[in-house]
């Protein structure tokens, strides 16, 4: 039983699906990009560019349902049992798919995956940091405009180097005010102290990545004692050059210092990974982590309701 708590829905797009949707939706993507390994990026800025280009093939609610269903089916084949997808509602709303229709599509995918494959899933609506605080407020307003069983959290993705975390306090306050849980990318590209800043200012329930906390014993201690879980994405961190190899990854040191570790695939198609591989990598790091501990952490940290948690624990 494996759990993916950090996955960008459109980061799961397989090459064949990109080709199919590009044709269906008349989106022109250079074949050199589609055929390049990992879609041809080489650092974080070029990753974000490649991500925007490749994911622009998703245009309709049907596309969204297809992409989500495909990932959930693949997870079931790997032994996955729970997935929390991140998706920014205004992205598709701008191309003419109202948030209500996005939710309906994801609910349909979630219902099918639960009934046919026993895989549960929820949605974290996200704001994109480099689009700025006003766009984040728009995302939070959209996310809180509709009640849905699957919509459980609000998140912040994008380029951590843009804006300060305080600029997003209002968006998170709107989302939390309506009962959504909160997570944000922090301590992936920016130093340890920014993890504490994000936790305190945005009132986070979890941290996306947070691995650079390891650079400050004091920050690591604070995170460990707060019991706020880190969503660690091993392949992503190595692919984006945070660490030269998996053996240099600090997940073991974080775990041994008492930080609550969960795993995510981040953008599996861009980082050439899957859930099984992330669990397998975590097993190689020589720490107190085991699949059992990671799963226990992940189910406790999940944003879904208690009934779903009980099913996942049974």
Of positions 39, 51, 71, 168, contacts ligand HPA by CB under 6 A? 51
Of positions 59, 181, 185, 212, contacts ligand HPA by CB under 6 A? 185
Q: Are strands 120-128 and 261-263 parallel, antiparallel or unpaired?
A: unpaired
Question: Which residue of the set 84, 138, 160, 188 is catalytic?
Answer: 188
Which residues are within 8 A (CB) of 36 and not within 5 positions of it... i.e. 6 or more apart? none
Nearest to ligand HPA of 13, 299 (CB atom): 13
8 binds ligand HPA (CB under 6 A): yes
Stretch that binds Zn ion, among 33-41, 90-98, 109-117, 264-272 (CB under 5 A): 264-272
Q: What φ, ψ does residue 152 adopt, rounded to 5°?
A: -120, -15
Residue at shortest CB range from ligand HPA: 157
DSSP 3-state helix, strand, coil percentages of the chain (rounded to 5)?
A: 55, 15, 30
Residue 129 beta carbon to ligand HPA: minimum distance, rounded to whole angstroms: 8
266 binds ligand HPA (CB under 6 A): yes
Pick out residues in 118-177 that bind ligand HPA (CB under 6 A).
157-158
Active site (annotated) includes residue 200: no
Which residues are within 8 A (CB) of 305 and not within 5 positions of it... i.e. 6 or more apart? 149, 152
Of positions 84, 160, 266, 274, contacts Zn ion by CB under 5 A? 266
Which residues are within 8 A (CB) of 193 and not within 5 positions of it... i.e. 6 or more apart? 216, 219
102 binds, among Zn ion, ligand HPA, none (CB under 5 to 8 A by kind): none
Q: Which residues pair with 186 in a beta bridge?
A: 209
51 binds, among ligand HPA, Zn ion, none (CB under 5 to 8 A by kind): ligand HPA
Neighbours of 77 (CB within 10 A): 11
Query: Rounded CA gap, 140 and 254, in Å?
Result: 31
Half-sphere exposure of 65 (CA within 13 A, CB side): 14
11 binds, among ligand HPA, Zn ion, none (CB under 5 to 8 A by kind): ligand HPA
Residue 143 beta carbon to ligand HPA: minimum distance, rounded to whole angstroms: 16
Residue ranges in contact with Zn ion by CB under 5 A? 266
């Amino acid at each position: 039983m494996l759990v993916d708590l950090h996955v960008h829905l459109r980061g799961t797009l397989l090459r064949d699906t990109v080709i199919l949707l590009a044709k269906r939706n008349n989106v022109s993507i250079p074949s050199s990009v589609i055929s390049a390994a990992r879609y041809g990026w080489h650092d974080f800025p070029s990753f974000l560019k490649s991500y925007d280009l490749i994911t622009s093939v998703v245009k309709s609610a049907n596309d969204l349902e297809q992409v989500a269903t495909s990932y959930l089916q693949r997870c079931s084949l790997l032994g996955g049992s729970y997935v929390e997808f991140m998706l920014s509602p205004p992205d598709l709303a701008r191309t003419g798919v109202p948030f209500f229709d996005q939710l309906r599509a994801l609910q349909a995918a979630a219902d099918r995956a639960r009934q046919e494959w026993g895989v549960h899933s929820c949605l974290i609506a996200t704001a994109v940091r480099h689009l700025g605080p006003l766009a984040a407020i728009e995302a939070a307003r959209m996310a809180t405009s509709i009640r849905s069983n699957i919509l459980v959290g609000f998140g912040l993705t994008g380029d951590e180097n843009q804006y300060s975390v305080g600029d997003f306090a209002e968006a998170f306050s709107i989302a939390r005010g309506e009962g959504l849980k909160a997570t944000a990318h922090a301590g992936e590209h920016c130093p340890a102290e920014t993890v504490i800043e994000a936790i305190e200012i945005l009132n986070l329930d979890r941290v996306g990545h947070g691995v650079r906390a390891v650079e400050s014993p004091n920050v690591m201690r604070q995170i460990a004692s707060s019991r706020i879980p880190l969503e660690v994405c091993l392949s992503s961190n190595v692919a984006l050059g945070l660490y030269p190899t998996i053996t240099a990854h600090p997940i073991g040191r974080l775990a041994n210092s008492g930080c609550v570790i969960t795993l995510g695939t981040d953008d599996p198609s861009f980082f050439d990974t899957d859930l099984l591989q992330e669990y397998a990598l975590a097993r190689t790091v020589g720490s107190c982590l085991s699949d059992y501990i990671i799963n226990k952490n992940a189910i406790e940290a999940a944003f879904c309701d208690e009934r779903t948690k009980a099913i996942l624990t049974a």
